[in-house]
Structure 1
């Protein structure tokens, strides 16, 4: 696209200027990828067969999930195994989830609509504080 603009430099001379307008098109695929990159991250934690995790797993965003596969172990001392404070979190234990210590829950769920399924071994030992 080219526009011509007349400009006066001198009463006897007329100069012609050309301006070019650039158009940029964004690929629909690039636009979709950009929009997807702006979505909040959802944690999808997996403790696989043979893996042993000894730190609390935190599921604090809506839709976060944890799967402990058969042969996987979550073994936490003196703290909750899973802190599920986000809404709509999912916890599936098909392996071993065990905690020990004061106030150490296997799964501490405080968010709305949690889905907690135990198909493995879940053991919690300890005392509740007063």
Structure 2
């Protein structure tokens, strides 16, 4: 499994996951500002891994599939787990903060699942259906 990290896009995803985990740690110890900086670097890594993945012409289909699943997990960490941890820890782990964190996690997981099944069509020309012609 480790060999899939030799793929440049997957390696950048791994770096983003390390950055996200560091951001979560920093939020838990009360260093929110620095944690947010690490989370923003994780977001940048997510954009970069996507650009690199699209530019790799000789990437195997299996590596691309593993990369897509790995990227989805990394997205969940920086886009849902980190904000949920910040909300919880910043609000002294109150019941209302717990409810907000649950909503963040559910909405992010649903969003990522939806786009895994129905990828956005950004940058593509939409084909006209026969009803539109």
Considering the TM-score relative to the shorter chain, is it more than 0.5? no
TM-score (norm 1): 0.25
Larger relative CO (CA 8 A, sep 6+): 1 or 2? 2
Determine which structure has the larger strand proportion and give its number: 1
TM-score by length of 2: 0.24
Considering only CA atoms, is the larger Rg found in Structure 1 or Structure 2? 1
